[in-house]
Structures are given as C-alpha cells and as structure tokens.
Amino acid sequence: MVRLFCLFCACLLVFATAFAQSAKEQLAIANSAKLVSKGFYDELPFQDKFGYFTIEARIDTATYEYIFDTGGYNTATSRVMQNAGLPTLLEVEVGSTNQLKSKIKLSKVPLLHLGKASFQDVGVFNFDFTDSPIINCYTNAGLIGKSVIREAVWQIDYRRSVIRVADELHRLPAVGNGQKVKVRLDKVLNPYIKLSVNGRQEEFMFDLGFGGLLSMNEKTAASFKFPKIVTVAGEGMVGANGVKQEKTYVAAVQSVAVGGKELKNQVVHYAPSNKYNLVGSDLAKHFIITMNFKEGYLILTPYEEPEAHEPHQTFGFGVNIRQGKLYVSQLHEDPATKQAGLALDDELVAIDGQPLTGLPDCDAYRLVRNTMKKQDTILVLIKRGAEQKQFHLVRHSPF
C-alpha cells in the first residue's frame, strides 16, 4: 500500500475581508490555546490507524476521537461545532501541503479536555473533510494540532500504545537515556527538526499527520540524485482539501540518522505538489518521542529492542473512496505491478473472497487495508466498466 497522506499541514493564505481583524490577529486566533491544568501527569491510550494516532478528547460532555497531528491546525467537524454551539469568528482561505486551497470557518473551543490536560480558548477550523472522505475513516471529529501540542509536554510511547502528557518534563519517564533534538517553530507553529539523510543534513517538518517516515518536496529530492526511483501513477498526497492527480515517486534511502541512531534502507516519497519535507509517524516505531515544543526540543529515546527492519514491500497499488465506492487510486509503474494487471479507477468489489459492496465506506476501506497489512498474497475482485476481473497479487519489493 502506498501511504501518501498529510492531513492539514496548512498555512493561512488569504484572509476574507468581511471581518475586521488584521492578518496578525487572525493568525493569533488560529494559533490560540492555553493550558490551564497545573501539576498533572496522565496517560492517554491511542490507536494506530494505518499511521495516524487517534486519542479521545472531550468538549462539554461529549467525547470524540481525534487525530493527534503535530503538523496540523486544530479542527472541528460541523457536528462538533453544532453540539458545542461554537460561533463563526471569521472565514479564511487555507492550503494543505499538496497546495490545494479552500475557504473555511474559524472558531474557538472554550475548553478542551485531553485526559487531565485542559486547554482554554482553542482555535479550531471547521473542517468536514468533504473533499477527502477517506480521512473520516480515521476520525469522527478532526485534529488535535500544533497549538495545543505546544502548550504541554507530550510523550509518544508507540509500543505501549500510550501518549503521556504533563505540564512539566520531570513528570515524564524515559527521558534520561534519550538524545535532545532541537525544534524550530515557524510563525504558524510548524515544528522542524534536522535529520541526516544519506550522510547529508536536511530540515524536515515533524508531522504526525504524515503516515510514513520520510516525504520530500521535489526540489530536495532532485538534489539527492537517488539511484533507485519508482514512479507511482494516479493520485498524489491526500490532504484536507482533497487530492491532486499527479505522478509521485518512491526512492530508496540508504540511511536516516537522528537521535543518535541510524535507520538503514528506508524509503522516501515525493511529488511535484509537496510543499514541505516531512518526517512522519513511523519515527515513533524507533523512539519514545518526548515533545517540549514550548522550550524548543524533542527527546528521542531509542527502544532497547530495535525495531525489526523489514525491506520496503508493496502490493503496488493504493485505494481511495469516491461516491461511496472504493477504487484503485495509485499504481506503481514497476514490472511486478504491471504484470499483475490492475488499472487505475478499478472499483474494488471483494478481497480474499470478502465482499466490499454493501459495506459502509470506511468498513470496506479498513477491511482492504487490514488484509493488505497482514497478508503476503491477496485475491482482488474488481469491476471495470461492465466487466468483473479477478487478480492474484503478491507483495513485492519495487526496487
């Protein structure tokens, strides 16, 4: 499965003139959040949903499932807005990392609770992910973003499926044996760290809204002159504002060094519309990640038992949802995938004999993703026009 997601790595682009606020004041609303809890420590269970980490959040008396996203703004669906009676403070135009734009409402949540951590006046974008319905398979409410994350000290312990949160660093475990990594926050609070890729240092946004290890913009990728590159036809990176039709690329990376550890034989994704270099949620498979953005650093603590490295393998296709149907959205242009016979826009009807038609969109999507995650061979039944075809696919290395 090709994983090319970045939810809401957004920048405020054009501000509507119907409101009196200056651009600076509007940005202040978007970045608003204040930690009001003191002297606390808590452990929040999270789920890994194909690279997105989801946690529970409470607004008023209602509990929602949110994606924990260091590279995104806080968002709230229209259902959350209505349930909490949140007002529209202004409208802005925003763009996600794939450079697609949309106009949306901006509001504030008076009080947001993440376990024992409570945050006041949290700026949120009213986003329903209408143009990216697949994102609703991960969350029923939206994103917990960078302004909230900046206000507290957080620790992601992937192997224990817990995100720890405290008001001060000394309350957290597993920091003594870690290495401190400097974090640079830009004016919209995007967090950047430096990695060494193939022996060369580059700056990457630390973005848990990207479900992989490395993604680059095209300019950076071109400068590396990667010897092994696989072209992926179809759709590019899925963002909050939708997805572009464009070729994307997967390249082999010999080494990624960060936090005193070298990760061998990784891959990087890149595409023409990618705006940022990203390091994503796969980093948490190798380190306990402690985030203290207010003081400008991460602490990366390697797990005592190294992550078992598996060579990059794929079935050579990706899936997306459109008008209630699951379809082939991406195809590797490598010999094994071409020989298999799938085509872009093929509608998925069944996988390993399990029907997909009639299932709710997200149930069908999760069934396909889970089957592809667990199996080395799959049997896919597709519909192409009026004809149905069956394909036997084998997980393989595109390199």
pLDDT for residue 244? 85
Residues 316-343: tens digit of each pLDDT: 999 999 988 999 999 999 999 999 999 9
Q: How many angstroms separate the CA atoms of 92 and 124, rounded?
A: 12
368 with 387: CB under 8 angstroms? no
Q: How many angstroms separate the CA atoms of 65 and 55, rounded?
A: 6
Q: What is the mean pLDDT of residues 95-100?
A: 53
Residues 200-225: tens digit of each pLDDT: 999 999 999 999 999 999 999 999 99
Strand partners, 163: 44, 156
Whether residues 279 and 186 share a domain: the answer is yes
Enclosing H/E stretch for 329: strand 325-332
Position 305 pLDDT exceeds 90: no
Instruction: Assign 399 to helix, strand or coil.
Output: coil
CATH number reported for the structural domain that contains residue 271 in this entry: 2.40.70.10
Strand 261-271 and strand 278-279: the pairing is unpaired
Domain boundary among 141, 171, 201: 171
Domain extent for 361: 317-394
Q: What is the mean pLDDT of residues 252-274?
A: 94
Write out the two tokens for 276: 């940022």
pTM of the shown model: 0.93
Residue 283 lies in a domain: yes
Whether residues 260 and 207 share a domain: the answer is yes
Long-range contacts of 158-164 (CB under 8 A, 24+ apart): 158/48, 158/284, 158/285, 158/288, 159/303, 161/45, 161/46, 161/47, 161/48, 162/43, 162/44, 162/45, 162/46, 163/43, 163/44, 163/46, 163/53, 163/55, 163/68, 164/41, 164/42, 164/43, 164/44
Position 132 pLDDT exceeds 90: no
